[in-house]
Amino acid sequence: MHIVVSWDITDGAPPRSELSESLKEAFAGHSWFRPLTTYYVIKADEAARLEIYEALLTVAEANPDRINFVVSPVMQGAYLGFLPQTSWDKINKRTL
């Protein structure tokens, strides 16, 4: 089982890279992979999903004009797309 998290951060201070690192801390204790710029596939059950959501929300609420994010429902299954094989191996490790 896994979730997907994605976000947008607008320009400003603190730097985008700093906010991105703060957001990634929300799922630091979980197995994750980033196949696209701000698209994270995270191995998680429903309890972990809610924990991750709350941690992301804390960062976003501290920067309400800068951060937007989405957390998917818990799901399972295979992805389709166009990525290097090494990326598929890493995605499958978290989703299958």
pLDDT in tens, 21-78: 999 999 999 999 999 999 999 999 999 999 999 999 999 999 999 999 999 999 999 8
pTM above 0.75, yes or no: yes
Local structure of residue 62 (DSSP, 8 states):
H
Residue 55 contacts residue 25 (beta carbons within 8 Å)? yes
Pairing of strands 2-9, 67-71: antiparallel
* Percentages of the chain per state (helix, strand, coil), in multiples of 5: 40, 25, 35
Given phi > 0 = left and psi -120 to 50 = alpha, else beta, which region is 61?
A: alpha
**Residue 6 clears pLDDT 90, i.e. is over it:** yes
Residue (of 48, 54, 44, 50) closest to 76 by Cα position: 44
Q: Does residue 15 sit in helix, strand or coil?
A: coil
